[in-house]
Amino acid sequence: MVVVVITALYLGRRPVLRGVGGCLVVDEPARPGDVVVLLDADGGYREAAKAYRGGFTKRVLLLETPPGRLQRLGILESDVEQKRKALGREEVPGDDVTVVSCAGRGDWNRARGLREWLTRHPDAGVVALCDRMNSRRLRHIYLAVLGADLANRVRWRGVPHRWYDESNWWTNKAGLAACVNDYLGLAHVCLFGENPGEREWDPDQYEQTLRRQP
């Protein structure tokens, strides 16, 4: 019996593993005319540009969080600036890209930024493009922040990573790591909700703290 069970699990491993990955995915039907919100996704700007060029949408939203220290020093470009340039290379005019400022960093504050935008645009629907295997966690966060009424105006579309999706995530290290991290992240959000705001590490302040120590 043990041999039979092991053999059955081995032969049926692919459907089981696909199901494990699929539990992380939310992919909802979008409506023509919806505004595309470009979240973090591998190649997501291509999907946004494809929707724009195909006439599905006339506007792309980018959620801008406060810059980090390297961005403030001009060493690195902000995430929003990188996305704007990538969209421009894909023939999306800058006038049709809207940047929404968010009060803080992280997914929860991005959700609050989108909530404010949806409140100001009561007739707008939204398609959120995000990492495919992170889509359920993000949907849980945005539902908690937006509330049921506003969340009903948001459709989720998961963009597959170039190396993996829910059908083959176990075939490479990046997919394995993503699946584990996404399940842990989903569990944390479901159990504990939002973390208290994390302060950005400031090396100057850290040095002053060390000097004050005996």
Taking residues 83-97, report their average pLDDT. 95
Structural tokens at position 11 = 């032969």
Q: 107: which DSSP letter?
A: H
For the chain, list the domains and their CATH numbers.
Answer: 16-212 (3.40.50.620)
Q: Encode pLDDT of 148-163 as tens digits.
A: 999 999 999 999 999 9
Question: Given this model, what pLDDT does residue 74 score?
Answer: 83
Task: Please report the pLDDT score of residue 130 as a whole number.
Answer: 97
- Residue from 87, 182, 156, 51 nearest 79 by CA: 87
- Say whether pLDDT at 208 is over 80: no
pLDDT in tens, 95-141: 999 999 999 889 999 999 999 999 999 999 999 999 999 999 999 99
Q: Comparing 121 with 3, which gets the higher pLDDT?
A: 121
Cα-based distances in Å from 76 to 54, 70, 167: 32, 6, 35
Q: How far apart are CA 21 and CA 39, in angstroms?
A: 20
Average pLDDT, the chain: 89
The answer to whether 179 and 170 have CB atoms below 8 angstroms apart is yes
What pLDDT is stored for residue 51 in this prediction? Answer: 95
Is a pLDDT exceeding 70 seen at residue 8? no
Strand 97-101: give its sheet, edge to edge: 97-101, 60-64, 35-38, 126-131, 154-159
